[in-house]
Amino acid sequence: MLYLDHAATAPVRPEVLEAMLPYLRDRFGNPSSHHTVGEAAASALADARQRVAAVVGMRPADIVFTSGGTEADNLAVKGLALGAALRRGAPPHIVTTPIEHEAILASCDYLRRVHGAAITELPVDTTGRIDPADLAAAVRPATALVSIGYANNEIGTIQDVAALAEATRAAGVPLHVDAVQAAGWLPLAGTGADALSIAGHKIGAPSGIGLLAVRNRLPLEPLLHGGGQERDRRSGTENLAGAVALAAALELAEAERVAAAARVTALRDRFIDRVLHHVPTARLTGHPVHRLPGTASFTFAGTSGEAVLLELERRGIVSSSGSACAAGSDEPSHVLLALGVPAALAQTAVRFSFGHDRARDDASHARTQLDAVADAVASSVAAVRSGA
C-alpha cells in the first residue's frame, strides 16, 4: 500500500519515537511537582520549549504546548480576540479568509455568535492567493486579529506571509499564521507573524501534541482554566512525552527542509505534468507555482472524487478528497467553492500529498513509483467515467 495522504497525518518517525519513549516509560514525572522526579520532568519540558522556540524564531516564553493544531488555532483566534476585546471593552473585529481550516472558521463563527464579533473574509483569487492590498484595506481601528493560513491544507497554495505581515505591522494589528501544513516545508522563523500554530502529527510526531507560538506581550485569554500551566495560558498537566517528540520532529524537519523541499517539488511537478497529460479532464487546483512541495490536487470532471479514491485504493494507493477534518461530508469543499469552482466539479476533487520520505528515497525509484501512481490515476478516472 502506497500512502499519499501526508497532509492528513504522517507516520511517527523512528527517531522521534526513540526520543519520546523514555518519557513514557521511566521519566514520567509531572513538571509541576516539587520533587526530584517532577523537577527532572520540568527540565525536559523546558528543553523541549527552548528547542521548538529556536525553530520558529521566538522565545521559549512564547511557546504554549497544546493538544494539536485545532486547539492551537482555537487558542490563537479566541484567545487573542477576546484578550483584545477585554482590553478595549468592545467586541472584536477579525480578518480572515474563506479558505481557512475549519478550526479557524468555526472559532470565528463562535466569536460572532457568542461575543458579537465582526468577521471580514478577504477575497481570494482562483488559485487561493490573497492580495495584501485587500488586507490593508480591511483592517480598521476595532480589528483585534488577522488570522491567515501559511499554506492551504486542501490545495497547497502558499500565501505571501511576509507581505501580509508588513500590512498588519503597519496597522498595528497582530497576525496569526496557521502553519500546520507549512511546517517542515517552509521557513517558520522570520515570517513576521505574532502567533504561529503547528501540529506534531503532520511532521512525524504522534497525534495529540501541537503548539501555539505567541508573542508574550499580547493579551491572550486562555481556553482552559485550572492549575495555570503554560504561564497561565493553557491549564492542564503538560504532555511531556509529546513535547519532547514535537521538539525532535521539528528539529529533524527543519534540518531537512531545504533539500527535501527541492527534491519533492521536482517529483511533484513531474507527477502533476503526467496526470494532466494522461487525464484530459484533470484540472490542477491551487497555485501552479506557489504551492507546498508535497501537495498535488486535482478535479476530474465527470467523476466522483470518492469513487476515484476507491479505485485508487483497489490499486494500492491511498490519498484523499481534501481535508481529513471534513471526511464523510457530502458537501463540496468550501475551499474550492471560494476559488470559484462549481459545486459539482468541486465534488470530483482528489488530493495527493507526499512526505519527507519521498526525498529520502532513491531518486530514480521515487520517480518510477510516482509515474506508476499517475498512470493509476488515469486508469482509475477512466474506470469511474466508464462506470466499470
Residues with catalytic function: 325
C-alpha cell at 272: 502533476
Angle of the 36-56 helix axis to the 240-278 helix axis, nearest 10: 30
The letter for the amino acid at 190 is G
Instruction: Find, among 149, 35, 26, the residue nearest to 95 by Cα.
Output: 149
Cα 22–Cα 27–Cα 30 angle in degrees, nearest 5:
135
HSE-CB at 324 with a 13 A cutoff on CA atoms is 15
DSSP 353-366: E--THHHHS-HHHH
**Contact call for residues 3 and 324 (beta carbons, < 8 A):** no
* Integer Cα distance of 181 and 324 in angstroms: 13
How far is it, in rounded angstroms, from Cα 61 to Cα 290? 33
What is the 3 state secondary structure string of 16-35?
HHHHHCHHHHCCCCCCCCCC
Cβ–Cβ < 8 Å for 102, 326 = yes
Cell of 130: 490573497
- Kindly report the CA angle at 214 between 211 and 220, in degrees rounded to 5? 105
